[in-house]
Amino acid sequence: MTIYSIIFYILALLILVSTGLAITRRNLVHAVIYLVFSFFGSALLFYLFGAPLLAVLEVIIYAGAIMILFLFIIMMVKVETSEERMFPLNQWLPAAVIGLLYLAIGALLVSSAPGKDIPLEMALTHPKEFGQYLFQRHWLSIEIVSLLLLIALIGALHLGRRKREEKIEEKP
Amino acid sequence: MIVPFGHVLILAGILFLMGMFCAVTRRNLIMIVLGIEIMLNAASIVFIGAALRWHHLEGQVFVVFILAVAATEVSVGLALIVYAYLRTGSFDPGTYNLLK
């Protein structure tokens, strides 16, 4: 057991515990803050797996942008937190059944898959190499994804604009 | 060496299961979108572990696209949630039963 495997298990425990705390919180702000911790743990895991650029992107985009967007929305609108019953029984039961099935089949697959015992070797992807690979081999996909982001921007603007027009129409 | 590849799969599987549980059992639209984010994050962990396992960069490239899709989904999804909240005054998807 090397120092890296100890780091991996500590990070895995941190990610699982903070995610488990996040999905059981009643208060949405607490849930988002716990999830930020979980994403920081994932970023450290990416760094351990030799992807420093993606670790930085994870912190900037997931923990930075997306979670702050959630916080803005939660603070912008008044959320009734106490009324929600935590896990209603009629939803809990199918979720538990599906989850147990998924867990059993997943454990079976992972334990019988060939090459599961192959140890991961330490490696490092230099950000420059990664960027060159990304833009040389996948330039078309990058263009498509940028188009997708543009469509998301226009869609969000449209949704925000229409509701204001309707409000003006309703007032008189 | 770090760990066997199976342990990474187990970690990501449990994380995906937590996200699925959050998306299925919570009755709040914001928590449902958070559950989808957790599932996407679990998928990225598997992709980066696989990139290290086969020493190939394709897995890491795919994570960039997952990040972009997650950002898109969150921006449009949260705009839709705010729109639905302004129309009905609630975050509970069970109360959205009007066709008007």
Q: Phi/psi at A95 (nearest 5 deg)?
A: -65, -40
pLDDT tens, residue by residue, B8-67: 999 999 999 999 988 888 888 889 999 999 999 999 999 999 998 888 889 999 999 999
- C-alpha span between A164 and B94 (Å, rounded): 25
- The topology (CATH level 3) of B27-91 is Helix Hairpins (1.10.287)
What residue of B is the nearest CA neighbor of A106?
Answer: B13
Which residues in chain A are contacts of B62 at CB distance < 8 A? none
- C-alpha span between B8 and B6 (Å, rounded): 5
Cβ B34–A38 below 8 Å, yes or no?
no
Q: Determine the average pLDDT of the residues in A117-138.
A: 86
- C-alpha span between B5 and B44 (Å, rounded): 15
Domain boundaries, given as residue ranges, for chain A: 1-80, 138-172
Whether the pLDDT of residue A85 is over 90: the answer is: no
- C-alpha span between A53 and A43 (Å, rounded): 10
> Which CATH number is correct for A1-80, 3.30.930.10, 1.20.120.1200, 3.40.50.620, 3.40.30.10?
1.20.120.1200
Contacts of A148 (CB under 8 A, 6+ apart): B68, B69, B72
Contacts of A161 (CB under 8 A, 6+ apart): none
Shortest Cα–Cα distance, B21 to chain A (Å): 6
pTM over cut 0.90 = no
Cβ A2–B1 below 8 Å, yes or no?
yes
Which residues in chain A are contacts of B28 at CB distance < 8 A? 28, 79, 84
Shortest Cα–Cα distance, B15 to chain A (Å): 7
Q: Phi/psi at B73 (nearest 5 deg)?
A: -60, -40
Shortest Cα–Cα distance, A159 to chain B (Å): 6
Give the B window 56-75 contacts with A, CB below 8 Å.
57, 60-61, 63-65, 67-72, 74-75
What is the reported pLDDT for A53? 92
User: Taking all residues of chain A, what is their mean pLDDT, rounded to a whole number?
Assistant: 85
What is the reported pLDDT for B95? 79
Contacts of B67 (CB under 8 A, 6+ apart): A57, A58, A61, A62, B44
Quick check: A159 and B79 in contact, CB under 8 A?
yes
Shortest Cα–Cα distance, A172 to chain B (Å): 18
- Report in angstroms the alpha-carbon separations of B89 from A69, A74, A142, A156: 20, 14, 39, 20
pLDDT tens, residue by residue, A106-127: 888 888 877 777 777 788 888 8
- C-alpha span between B36 and B70 (Å, rounded): 9
Q: Determine whether A154 is exposed, middle or buried from the number of CB atoms within 10 Å of its CB (0-12, 13-18, 19+).
A: exposed
Instruction: Tell me, yes or no, if A159 comes closer than 8 A to chain B by beta carbon.
Output: yes
ipTM of model? 0.90
